[in-house]
Amino acid sequence: MTRKLTDKPISIGADHRGFALKERLKVWLQANGYSVKDCGTDSGAERVDAMDYALRLVAEIKENRSDFAIGICGSGQMMAMTANRFPFMRATLLHTSAESVPAREHGDANMLVLGADTVDDATAEHILKAFLHTDALGGRYAERRERLAKLDASDR
């Protein structure tokens, strides 16, 4: 790898269904020069709530300890829905590496969400690689991101 998207640790968290994939992606990240902050869970043996781990990842970004996070649960849906409740979060649930490019270029996604039941390990690594090798675009995309950050649906 020639460059890193961030020098801060990448925070990663998963529920019980995403535990095995989380462990695999931690190894990939470290092998590619990234430091990792593991936000749990520590086992796939007992059921835990994905929402709790999504909130841990959100806190890492809110407190500026990480610029990027990776959340993994069975479908990925609960991780993404929870994270996107916060205006500074731009969580994207991806199924292919091709989706990573617009998610980063257009949306400046700061949280990659994966469904452990919907992507295999090799696909997850390809998605992560594309995510980390794609920069956000400026111009009209930056303007959209600014509008998105100001959006509050409760006002409607």
By annotation, the residues acting in catalysis are 106
d(CA 119, CA 52) in angstroms, rounded, equals 22
- Tell me the β-bridge partners of 38: 12
CA distances from 29 to 70, 95, 106, 108, 141 (A): 11, 19, 24, 20, 28
